[in-house]
Structure 1
Amino acid sequence: MKQVYKALTIAGSDSGGGAGIQADLKTFQELEVFGMSAITAVTAQNTLGVQGVYPLSVQAVEQQIESIGTDLGADAVKTGMLFNSEIIYAVAGKIKKFGWKNVVVDPVMIAKGGAPLLQNDAISALKKHLLPLAEVVTPNIPEAEALTGIKIETIEDRFESAKHIFELGARNVVIKGGHEIASEAVDVLYDGREFYYFKSKKIETKNTHGTGCTFAAAIAAELAKGNTVQNAVQTAKNFIAAAIENQLGIGHGHGPTNHWAYRQKLVSEKR
Protein backbone atom coordinates (compact mmCIF):
# COMPACT_ATOMS: atom_id res chain seq x y z
CA MET A 1 0.00 0.00 0.00
CA LYS A 2 1.26 3.47 -0.91
CA GLN A 3 2.40 5.57 2.04
CA VAL A 4 -0.02 8.33 2.91
CA TYR A 5 1.48 11.62 4.08
CA LYS A 6 -0.64 13.76 6.38
CA ALA A 7 -0.67 17.47 7.12
CA LEU A 8 -2.70 19.36 9.71
CA THR A 9 -3.74 22.98 9.26
CA ILE A 10 -4.61 24.99 12.38
CA ALA A 11 -6.21 28.14 11.09
CA GLY A 12 -9.35 30.14 10.52
CA SER A 13 -12.16 29.27 8.14
CA ASP A 14 -12.69 31.52 5.11
CA SER A 15 -16.29 31.33 3.93
CA GLY A 16 -15.19 32.64 0.54
CA GLY A 17 -12.88 29.66 0.05
CA GLY A 18 -9.80 31.60 -1.02
CA ALA A 19 -7.74 31.59 2.16
CA GLY A 20 -7.58 29.91 5.55
CA ILE A 21 -8.24 26.23 6.02
CA GLN A 22 -10.05 26.04 2.70
CA ALA A 23 -6.96 27.17 0.80
CA ASP A 24 -4.74 24.92 2.92
CA LEU A 25 -6.79 21.78 2.33
CA LYS A 26 -6.99 22.47 -1.41
CA THR A 27 -3.21 22.87 -1.50
CA PHE A 28 -2.59 19.68 0.47
CA GLN A 29 -4.86 17.76 -1.90
CA GLU A 30 -3.18 19.13 -5.01
CA LEU A 31 0.22 18.10 -3.65
CA GLU A 32 -1.04 14.60 -2.78
CA VAL A 33 -1.02 15.01 0.99
CA PHE A 34 -3.99 14.04 3.18
CA GLY A 35 -5.27 17.21 4.82
CA MET A 36 -6.76 17.62 8.30
CA SER A 37 -7.90 20.75 10.07
CA ALA A 38 -8.39 22.39 13.45
CA ILE A 39 -10.45 25.56 13.10
CA THR A 40 -9.50 28.48 15.33
CA ALA A 41 -12.12 30.97 14.13
CA VAL A 42 -14.97 31.21 11.69
CA THR A 43 -14.86 34.26 9.45
CA ALA A 44 -17.57 35.72 7.28
CA GLN A 45 -15.65 36.98 4.28
CA ASN A 46 -15.57 37.20 0.53
CA THR A 47 -13.37 38.88 -2.07
CA LEU A 48 -14.54 42.30 -0.87
CA GLY A 49 -13.32 41.87 2.69
CA VAL A 50 -13.96 40.38 6.11
CA GLN A 51 -17.46 40.99 7.40
CA GLY A 52 -17.10 39.14 10.71
CA VAL A 53 -14.64 37.15 12.85
CA TYR A 54 -15.94 34.62 15.37
CA PRO A 55 -13.14 32.91 17.33
CA LEU A 56 -13.73 29.46 18.76
CA SER A 57 -13.12 28.67 22.40
CA VAL A 58 -9.69 27.47 23.47
CA GLN A 59 -11.29 24.17 24.50
CA ALA A 60 -12.74 23.67 21.03
CA VAL A 61 -9.37 24.29 19.39
CA GLU A 62 -7.56 22.01 21.81
CA GLN A 63 -10.06 19.18 21.36
CA GLN A 64 -9.77 19.27 17.58
CA ILE A 65 -5.98 19.00 17.76
CA GLU A 66 -6.20 16.31 20.45
CA SER A 67 -8.50 14.27 18.21
CA ILE A 68 -5.97 14.40 15.39
CA GLY A 69 -2.95 13.75 17.58
CA THR A 70 -4.37 10.73 19.38
CA ASP A 71 -5.47 8.94 16.22
CA LEU A 72 -4.27 10.14 12.83
CA GLY A 73 -1.05 11.96 13.69
CA ALA A 74 0.57 14.50 11.37
CA ASP A 75 3.73 14.53 9.25
CA ALA A 76 3.57 18.33 9.13
CA VAL A 77 1.59 21.10 10.80
CA LYS A 78 0.77 24.49 9.32
CA THR A 79 -0.57 27.31 11.48
CA GLY A 80 -2.40 30.32 10.10
CA MET A 81 -4.86 32.65 11.76
CA LEU A 82 -4.67 32.03 15.53
CA PHE A 83 -6.39 35.29 16.54
CA ASN A 84 -5.47 35.61 20.23
CA SER A 85 -2.80 34.73 22.78
CA GLU A 86 -4.90 32.07 24.51
CA ILE A 87 -5.27 30.08 21.29
CA ILE A 88 -1.55 30.50 20.56
CA TYR A 89 -0.65 29.09 24.01
CA ALA A 90 -3.01 26.14 23.44
CA VAL A 91 -1.70 25.38 19.96
CA ALA A 92 1.92 25.55 21.08
CA GLY A 93 1.15 23.22 23.96
CA LYS A 94 -0.45 20.60 21.72
CA ILE A 95 2.39 20.78 19.18
CA LYS A 96 4.85 20.08 21.99
CA LYS A 97 2.68 17.33 23.46
CA PHE A 98 2.60 15.37 20.21
CA GLY A 99 6.21 16.13 19.31
CA TRP A 100 5.38 17.48 15.85
CA LYS A 101 8.50 18.76 14.08
CA ASN A 102 7.63 19.95 10.56
CA VAL A 103 5.80 23.03 11.78
CA VAL A 104 5.22 25.86 9.30
CA VAL A 105 4.06 29.12 10.89
CA ASP A 106 2.30 31.65 8.68
CA PRO A 107 2.04 34.63 11.05
CA VAL A 108 -1.32 35.85 9.76
CA MET A 109 -2.01 39.32 11.10
CA ILE A 110 -4.03 41.36 8.60
CA ALA A 111 -6.45 40.35 5.84
CA LYS A 112 -6.04 41.63 2.27
CA GLY A 113 -8.76 44.22 2.90
CA GLY A 114 -7.08 45.46 6.08
CA ALA A 115 -9.13 43.65 8.75
CA PRO A 116 -7.02 42.59 11.76
CA LEU A 117 -6.77 38.81 12.16
CA LEU A 118 -4.41 38.76 15.14
CA GLN A 119 -4.94 40.79 18.30
CA ASN A 120 -2.06 43.10 19.23
CA ASP A 121 -1.29 41.37 22.51
CA ALA A 122 -0.98 38.05 20.67
CA ILE A 123 2.14 39.09 18.74
CA SER A 124 4.37 38.65 21.78
CA ALA A 125 2.79 35.24 22.46
CA LEU A 126 3.46 34.23 18.87
CA LYS A 127 7.11 35.25 19.18
CA LYS A 128 7.65 33.62 22.56
CA HIS A 129 5.68 30.38 22.29
CA LEU A 130 5.17 29.45 18.64
CA LEU A 131 8.20 30.67 16.67
CA PRO A 132 10.60 28.47 18.69
CA LEU A 133 8.60 25.45 17.46
CA ALA A 134 8.73 26.47 13.80
CA GLU A 135 10.75 24.63 11.22
CA VAL A 136 9.75 27.40 8.80
CA VAL A 137 8.10 30.78 9.37
CA THR A 138 6.76 32.68 6.35
CA PRO A 139 6.07 36.37 7.06
CA ASN A 140 5.39 38.87 4.31
CA ILE A 141 7.10 42.24 4.60
CA PRO A 142 4.46 43.95 6.83
CA GLU A 143 4.37 40.88 9.10
CA ALA A 144 8.17 40.77 9.32
CA GLU A 145 8.15 44.46 10.27
CA ALA A 146 5.59 43.77 13.01
CA LEU A 147 7.61 40.85 14.36
CA THR A 148 10.92 42.70 14.40
CA GLY A 149 10.23 46.43 14.54
CA ILE A 150 12.54 46.81 11.54
CA LYS A 151 11.34 48.96 8.63
CA ILE A 152 11.98 46.93 5.48
CA GLU A 153 12.83 48.96 2.39
CA THR A 154 15.95 47.25 1.02
CA ILE A 155 17.24 43.70 0.62
CA GLU A 156 19.66 44.40 3.48
CA ASP A 157 16.67 45.22 5.70
CA ARG A 158 15.21 41.83 4.85
CA PHE A 159 18.48 40.15 5.77
CA GLU A 160 18.48 41.91 9.13
CA SER A 161 14.84 41.08 9.74
CA ALA A 162 15.35 37.40 8.84
CA LYS A 163 18.27 37.15 11.25
CA HIS A 164 16.19 38.74 14.00
CA ILE A 165 13.32 36.26 13.49
CA PHE A 166 15.78 33.38 13.37
CA GLU A 167 17.08 34.46 16.76
CA LEU A 168 13.55 34.14 18.12
CA GLY A 169 13.84 30.40 17.56
CA ALA A 170 12.54 29.61 14.07
CA ARG A 171 14.93 27.28 12.25
CA ASN A 172 14.22 28.71 8.80
CA VAL A 173 12.80 32.12 7.87
CA VAL A 174 11.20 32.95 4.52
CA ILE A 175 10.46 36.64 4.03
CA LYS A 176 8.12 36.91 1.10
CA GLY A 177 8.52 39.66 -1.46
CA GLY A 178 5.00 40.01 -2.81
CA HIS A 179 4.58 43.47 -1.25
CA GLU A 180 7.62 44.84 -3.07
CA ILE A 181 7.24 47.27 -5.94
CA ALA A 182 9.37 45.43 -8.46
CA SER A 183 9.20 43.41 -11.67
CA GLU A 184 10.06 40.23 -9.77
CA ALA A 185 8.62 38.65 -6.66
CA VAL A 186 11.68 37.61 -4.66
CA ASP A 187 11.37 35.47 -1.55
CA VAL A 188 14.39 35.20 0.74
CA LEU A 189 15.10 32.08 2.80
CA TYR A 190 17.51 32.22 5.74
CA ASP A 191 18.57 29.01 7.49
CA GLY A 192 20.86 30.55 10.07
CA ARG A 193 23.90 30.26 7.80
CA GLU A 194 23.01 31.16 4.22
CA PHE A 195 20.49 33.25 2.30
CA TYR A 196 18.69 31.70 -0.67
CA TYR A 197 16.64 33.54 -3.29
CA PHE A 198 13.47 32.31 -4.97
CA LYS A 199 12.35 34.47 -7.85
CA SER A 200 9.30 34.58 -10.08
CA LYS A 201 7.81 37.09 -12.48
CA LYS A 202 5.66 39.68 -10.72
CA ILE A 203 2.12 39.40 -12.06
CA GLU A 204 0.07 42.57 -11.82
CA THR A 205 -3.32 41.46 -10.52
CA LYS A 206 -5.72 42.12 -7.67
CA ASN A 207 -6.57 38.42 -7.48
CA THR A 208 -4.13 37.37 -4.77
CA HIS A 209 -6.46 36.49 -1.91
CA GLY A 210 -5.02 33.58 0.07
CA THR A 211 -1.53 33.59 -1.44
CA GLY A 212 0.18 33.55 1.96
CA CYS A 213 -1.94 30.66 3.24
CA THR A 214 -1.40 28.68 0.06
CA PHE A 215 2.37 29.27 0.00
CA ALA A 216 2.83 28.12 3.59
CA ALA A 217 0.52 25.14 3.09
CA ALA A 218 2.56 24.04 0.07
CA ILE A 219 5.75 24.17 2.15
CA ALA A 220 4.07 22.07 4.85
CA ALA A 221 2.87 19.52 2.29
CA GLU A 222 6.35 19.11 0.86
CA LEU A 223 7.93 18.80 4.32
CA ALA A 224 5.33 16.16 5.17
CA LYS A 225 6.61 14.13 2.21
CA GLY A 226 10.17 14.35 3.51
CA ASN A 227 11.52 17.04 1.21
CA THR A 228 14.16 19.52 2.32
CA VAL A 229 13.22 23.06 3.30
CA GLN A 230 14.88 24.50 0.19
CA ASN A 231 13.04 22.10 -2.12
CA ALA A 232 9.79 22.68 -0.26
CA VAL A 233 10.09 26.46 -0.66
CA GLN A 234 10.89 26.09 -4.36
CA THR A 235 7.83 23.91 -4.94
CA ALA A 236 5.70 26.34 -2.97
CA LYS A 237 7.04 29.20 -5.07
CA ASN A 238 6.20 27.34 -8.29
CA PHE A 239 2.78 26.39 -6.93
CA ILE A 240 1.76 29.92 -5.98
CA ALA A 241 3.18 31.44 -9.18
CA ALA A 242 1.00 29.10 -11.25
CA ALA A 243 -1.99 29.80 -9.01
CA ILE A 244 -1.67 33.57 -9.48
CA GLU A 245 -0.86 33.47 -13.18
CA ASN A 246 -3.86 31.30 -14.11
CA GLN A 247 -6.52 33.53 -12.65
CA LEU A 248 -10.08 32.43 -11.93
CA GLY A 249 -11.54 35.93 -12.09
CA ILE A 250 -14.34 35.36 -9.59
CA GLY A 251 -15.78 37.83 -7.10
CA HIS A 252 -15.81 41.62 -7.21
CA GLY A 253 -12.74 42.36 -5.07
CA HIS A 254 -9.46 40.58 -4.33
CA GLY A 255 -10.22 37.26 -5.98
CA PRO A 256 -8.78 33.87 -4.95
CA THR A 257 -5.93 32.10 -6.69
CA ASN A 258 -6.26 28.98 -8.82
CA HIS A 259 -5.28 26.01 -6.68
CA TRP A 260 -5.41 23.46 -9.48
CA ALA A 261 -3.21 25.42 -11.89
CA TYR A 262 0.07 23.86 -10.70
CA ARG A 263 -1.20 20.31 -11.24
CA GLN A 264 -2.55 21.19 -14.67
CA LYS A 265 0.80 22.72 -15.59
CA LEU A 266 2.65 19.54 -14.57
CA VAL A 267 0.23 17.38 -16.56
CA SER A 268 0.61 19.64 -19.60
CA GLU A 269 4.41 19.47 -19.39
CA LYS A 270 4.35 15.68 -19.36
CA ARG A 271 2.39 15.45 -22.62
Structure 2
Amino acid sequence: MRFDVLTLFPELFEPSLRLGVTRRAFESRQVDVQLWGLRDFADNAYRRVDDRPFGGGPGMVMLIDPLERALAAVHAARAAADIAAASPSTTPQPPVILFSPAGRPLTQARVQAFSRSPEGAILICGRYEGLDQRFVDRHVTEEISLGDFVLSGGELPALTLLDAVARLMPGVLNDEKSHQQDSFSDGLLDCPHYSRPEVHAGEGVPSVLMSGHHAEIARWRREQQLTATARRRPDLLEKARREGLLSRQDLKLLSKLGL
Protein backbone atom coordinates (compact mmCIF):
# COMPACT_ATOMS: atom_id res chain seq x y z
CA MET A 1 0.00 0.00 0.00
CA ARG A 2 1.11 3.56 -0.59
CA PHE A 3 1.00 6.60 1.66
CA ASP A 4 1.78 10.03 0.22
CA VAL A 5 2.66 12.59 2.89
CA LEU A 6 2.34 16.33 2.17
CA THR A 7 4.46 18.17 4.71
CA LEU A 8 6.65 21.19 5.31
CA PHE A 9 9.19 18.96 7.08
CA PRO A 10 9.89 15.72 5.18
CA GLU A 11 13.13 15.34 7.13
CA LEU A 12 11.10 14.59 10.28
CA PHE A 13 9.97 11.30 8.73
CA GLU A 14 13.21 9.86 7.46
CA PRO A 15 14.71 8.60 10.79
CA SER A 16 11.46 6.87 11.78
CA LEU A 17 11.30 5.07 8.43
CA ARG A 18 14.81 3.66 8.97
CA LEU A 19 14.72 2.65 12.65
CA GLY A 20 13.04 0.00 14.76
CA VAL A 21 11.19 -3.13 13.81
CA THR A 22 8.71 -1.24 11.60
CA ARG A 23 11.51 -0.33 9.19
CA ARG A 24 10.95 -3.78 7.66
CA ALA A 25 7.58 -2.67 6.35
CA PHE A 26 9.04 0.51 4.86
CA GLU A 27 12.19 -1.09 3.41
CA SER A 28 10.16 -3.86 1.76
CA ARG A 29 7.63 -1.28 0.55
CA GLN A 30 4.77 -3.21 2.05
CA VAL A 31 4.09 0.31 3.28
CA ASP A 32 5.42 2.58 0.55
CA VAL A 33 5.85 6.11 1.93
CA GLN A 34 6.35 8.99 -0.52
CA LEU A 35 7.25 12.35 1.01
CA TRP A 36 6.24 15.60 -0.69
CA GLY A 37 7.77 18.86 0.53
CA LEU A 38 5.11 21.56 0.27
CA ARG A 39 7.66 24.34 -0.25
CA ASP A 40 8.55 22.70 -3.57
CA PHE A 41 5.11 23.76 -4.79
CA ALA A 42 5.34 27.42 -3.80
CA ASP A 43 5.36 29.90 -6.69
CA ASN A 44 7.51 32.62 -5.13
CA ALA A 45 11.22 33.10 -4.65
CA TYR A 46 10.92 32.72 -0.87
CA ARG A 47 9.07 29.36 -1.17
CA ARG A 48 6.37 30.82 1.03
CA VAL A 49 3.34 28.62 1.68
CA ASP A 50 1.49 30.69 4.30
CA ASP A 51 -0.02 34.14 4.74
CA ARG A 52 -2.00 36.21 7.24
CA PRO A 53 -5.64 35.22 7.80
CA PHE A 54 -8.42 37.36 6.39
CA GLY A 55 -10.31 39.03 9.21
CA GLY A 56 -7.18 39.44 11.29
CA GLY A 57 -6.05 37.41 14.25
CA PRO A 58 -2.86 35.68 15.35
CA GLY A 59 -0.84 33.18 13.37
CA MET A 60 -0.66 32.29 9.71
CA VAL A 61 -2.75 30.13 7.39
CA MET A 62 -1.42 27.62 4.86
CA LEU A 63 -2.20 28.82 1.32
CA ILE A 64 -4.50 26.82 -0.92
CA ASP A 65 -2.49 27.06 -4.15
CA PRO A 66 0.66 25.18 -3.02
CA LEU A 67 -1.54 22.55 -1.38
CA GLU A 68 -3.57 22.02 -4.53
CA ARG A 69 -0.46 21.85 -6.72
CA ALA A 70 1.08 19.26 -4.40
CA LEU A 71 -2.11 17.20 -4.31
CA ALA A 72 -2.35 17.28 -8.11
CA ALA A 73 1.25 16.05 -8.34
CA VAL A 74 0.44 13.17 -5.99
CA HIS A 75 -2.56 12.11 -8.04
CA ALA A 76 -0.50 12.30 -11.24
CA ALA A 77 2.29 10.20 -9.72
CA ARG A 78 -0.19 7.60 -8.48
CA ALA A 79 -1.85 7.42 -11.90
CA ALA A 80 1.52 6.95 -13.58
CA ALA A 81 2.42 4.19 -11.10
CA ASP A 82 -0.90 2.43 -11.79
CA ILE A 83 -0.31 2.61 -15.54
CA ALA A 84 3.21 1.22 -15.11
CA ALA A 85 1.76 -1.63 -13.04
CA ALA A 86 -0.94 -2.19 -15.70
CA SER A 87 -3.68 -1.73 -13.10
CA PRO A 88 -5.13 1.76 -13.65
CA SER A 89 -8.72 0.67 -13.06
CA THR A 90 -8.31 -1.71 -10.12
CA THR A 91 -7.03 0.58 -7.37
CA PRO A 92 -9.63 2.80 -5.65
CA GLN A 93 -8.97 6.49 -5.16
CA PRO A 94 -7.09 6.99 -1.88
CA PRO A 95 -8.71 8.94 0.95
CA VAL A 96 -7.24 12.37 1.62
CA ILE A 97 -6.60 12.54 5.36
CA LEU A 98 -6.11 15.75 7.32
CA PHE A 99 -4.81 15.54 10.89
CA SER A 100 -6.91 17.97 12.88
CA PRO A 101 -8.27 18.45 16.43
CA ALA A 102 -11.70 18.46 14.78
CA GLY A 103 -11.23 14.94 13.43
CA ARG A 104 -12.49 11.63 14.71
CA PRO A 105 -10.12 9.90 17.16
CA LEU A 106 -7.75 7.39 15.61
CA THR A 107 -8.61 3.88 16.79
CA GLN A 108 -7.08 0.45 16.36
CA ALA A 109 -10.06 -0.53 14.23
CA ARG A 110 -9.33 2.36 11.86
CA VAL A 111 -5.64 1.40 11.76
CA GLN A 112 -6.60 -2.18 10.87
CA ALA A 113 -8.82 -0.88 8.09
CA PHE A 114 -5.91 1.14 6.69
CA SER A 115 -3.67 -1.95 6.85
CA ARG A 116 -6.11 -3.85 4.61
CA SER A 117 -6.62 -1.10 2.04
CA PRO A 118 -4.43 -1.44 -1.08
CA GLU A 119 -4.83 2.25 -1.92
CA GLY A 120 -3.36 3.51 1.36
CA ALA A 121 -4.00 7.24 1.80
CA ILE A 122 -2.80 10.77 1.14
CA LEU A 123 -1.81 12.38 4.44
CA ILE A 124 -1.96 16.17 4.82
CA CYS A 125 0.21 17.58 7.61
CA GLY A 126 -1.03 21.04 8.53
CA ARG A 127 0.94 23.74 10.34
CA TYR A 128 0.40 27.22 11.76
CA GLU A 129 -3.26 28.08 12.41
CA GLY A 130 -4.37 25.49 9.86
CA LEU A 131 -5.22 25.18 6.17
CA ASP A 132 -7.31 27.45 3.99
CA GLN A 133 -10.78 26.01 4.55
CA ARG A 134 -11.48 25.91 0.82
CA PHE A 135 -8.84 23.19 0.43
CA VAL A 136 -10.41 21.19 3.25
CA ASP A 137 -13.90 21.52 1.76
CA ARG A 138 -12.81 20.56 -1.75
CA HIS A 139 -10.32 17.79 -1.15
CA VAL A 140 -10.22 16.34 2.36
CA THR A 141 -12.29 13.17 2.74
CA GLU A 142 -11.54 12.41 6.39
CA GLU A 143 -10.14 14.24 9.41
CA ILE A 144 -8.30 12.33 12.13
CA SER A 145 -7.29 13.39 15.64
CA LEU A 146 -4.95 11.79 18.18
CA GLY A 147 -6.91 13.30 21.06
CA ASP A 148 -8.19 16.45 22.65
CA PHE A 149 -4.95 18.40 22.54
CA VAL A 150 -3.08 20.50 19.99
CA LEU A 151 0.27 19.75 18.34
CA SER A 152 2.49 22.05 16.29
CA GLY A 153 1.66 20.17 13.11
CA GLY A 154 0.38 17.00 11.52
CA GLU A 155 3.73 15.26 11.21
CA LEU A 156 3.59 13.41 14.55
CA PRO A 157 0.04 12.13 13.92
CA ALA A 158 1.10 11.01 10.43
CA LEU A 159 4.10 9.15 11.89
CA THR A 160 1.83 7.60 14.48
CA LEU A 161 -0.52 6.30 11.81
CA LEU A 162 2.33 4.98 9.66
CA ASP A 163 3.91 3.17 12.61
CA ALA A 164 0.59 1.66 13.70
CA VAL A 165 -0.12 0.39 10.17
CA ALA A 166 3.43 -0.85 9.53
CA ARG A 167 3.50 -3.13 12.57
CA LEU A 168 0.43 -4.97 11.26
CA MET A 169 2.15 -5.97 8.03
CA PRO A 170 3.12 -9.66 7.65
CA GLY A 171 6.68 -10.41 8.73
CA VAL A 172 7.26 -7.07 10.47
CA LEU A 173 6.93 -8.30 14.05
CA ASN A 174 9.02 -11.30 15.07
CA ASP A 175 5.88 -13.12 16.23
CA GLU A 176 2.74 -12.73 14.12
CA LYS A 177 0.62 -13.18 17.25
CA SER A 178 2.09 -10.08 18.91
CA HIS A 179 -0.28 -7.54 17.40
CA GLN A 180 -3.25 -9.89 17.88
CA GLN A 181 -2.75 -9.53 21.65
CA ASP A 182 -2.33 -5.75 21.60
CA SER A 183 -4.59 -3.45 23.56
CA PHE A 184 -7.77 -2.61 21.60
CA SER A 185 -7.33 -5.49 19.12
CA ASP A 186 -10.34 -7.24 20.66
CA GLY A 187 -11.84 -4.14 22.22
CA LEU A 188 -10.09 -4.53 25.58
CA LEU A 189 -6.81 -3.47 27.17
CA ASP A 190 -3.92 -5.90 27.14
CA CYS A 191 -3.01 -8.08 30.11
CA PRO A 192 0.20 -7.50 32.13
CA HIS A 193 3.40 -9.23 31.01
CA TYR A 194 6.47 -10.51 32.93
CA SER A 195 9.99 -11.66 32.07
CA ARG A 196 13.32 -12.45 33.79
CA PRO A 197 14.25 -12.39 36.62
CA GLU A 198 11.60 -14.56 38.21
CA VAL A 199 11.93 -12.60 41.46
CA HIS A 200 12.83 -8.91 41.61
CA ALA A 201 13.07 -6.89 44.82
CA GLY A 202 11.17 -9.65 46.59
CA GLU A 203 8.28 -9.65 44.11
CA GLY A 204 7.70 -12.76 42.07
CA VAL A 205 5.97 -13.52 38.81
CA PRO A 206 2.34 -14.72 39.17
CA SER A 207 2.56 -18.46 39.78
CA VAL A 208 0.06 -19.33 37.06
CA LEU A 209 2.50 -18.05 34.42
CA MET A 210 5.11 -20.52 35.72
CA SER A 211 2.71 -23.46 35.75
CA GLY A 212 2.98 -24.51 32.12
CA HIS A 213 -0.80 -25.00 32.08
CA HIS A 214 -1.75 -23.21 28.88
CA ALA A 215 -5.50 -23.20 29.48
CA GLU A 216 -5.06 -21.73 32.96
CA ILE A 217 -2.63 -19.12 31.63
CA ALA A 218 -5.10 -18.12 28.90
CA ARG A 219 -7.89 -17.88 31.49
CA TRP A 220 -5.73 -15.75 33.81
CA ARG A 221 -4.74 -13.41 30.98
CA ARG A 222 -8.35 -12.94 29.91
CA GLU A 223 -9.34 -12.21 33.51
CA GLN A 224 -6.58 -9.62 33.72
CA GLN A 225 -7.75 -8.02 30.47
CA LEU A 226 -11.31 -7.76 31.69
CA THR A 227 -10.30 -6.47 35.11
CA ALA A 228 -7.86 -3.87 33.78
CA THR A 229 -10.36 -2.61 31.23
CA ALA A 230 -13.15 -2.40 33.80
CA ARG A 231 -10.99 -0.39 36.19
CA ARG A 232 -9.08 1.83 33.79
CA ARG A 233 -11.34 2.16 30.74
CA PRO A 234 -14.90 1.20 31.70
CA ASP A 235 -16.07 2.93 28.52
CA LEU A 236 -14.23 0.31 26.46
CA LEU A 237 -15.80 -2.51 28.43
CA GLU A 238 -19.29 -1.13 27.92
CA LYS A 239 -18.60 -0.71 24.22
CA ALA A 240 -17.41 -4.32 24.03
CA ARG A 241 -20.65 -5.41 25.69
CA ARG A 242 -22.79 -3.41 23.27
CA GLU A 243 -20.95 -4.68 20.22
CA GLY A 244 -21.09 -8.32 21.29
CA LEU A 245 -17.32 -8.69 21.60
CA LEU A 246 -17.53 -10.53 24.93
CA SER A 247 -18.02 -14.27 25.04
CA ARG A 248 -20.41 -16.05 27.39
CA GLN A 249 -17.37 -17.06 29.45
CA ASP A 250 -16.28 -13.40 29.61
CA LEU A 251 -19.69 -12.38 30.92
CA LYS A 252 -19.65 -15.14 33.54
CA LEU A 253 -16.21 -14.06 34.66
CA LEU A 254 -17.27 -10.41 34.91
CA SER A 255 -20.30 -11.43 36.98
CA LYS A 256 -18.07 -13.51 39.26
CA LEU A 257 -15.73 -10.52 39.71
CA GLY A 258 -18.66 -8.20 40.40
CA LEU A 259 -17.96 -6.20 37.24
Q: Tell me the TM-score normalized by structure 1.
A: 0.33
Structure having the larger proportion of residues in strand: 1
Larger Rg: 2
Q: Tell me the TM-score normalized by structure 2.
A: 0.34
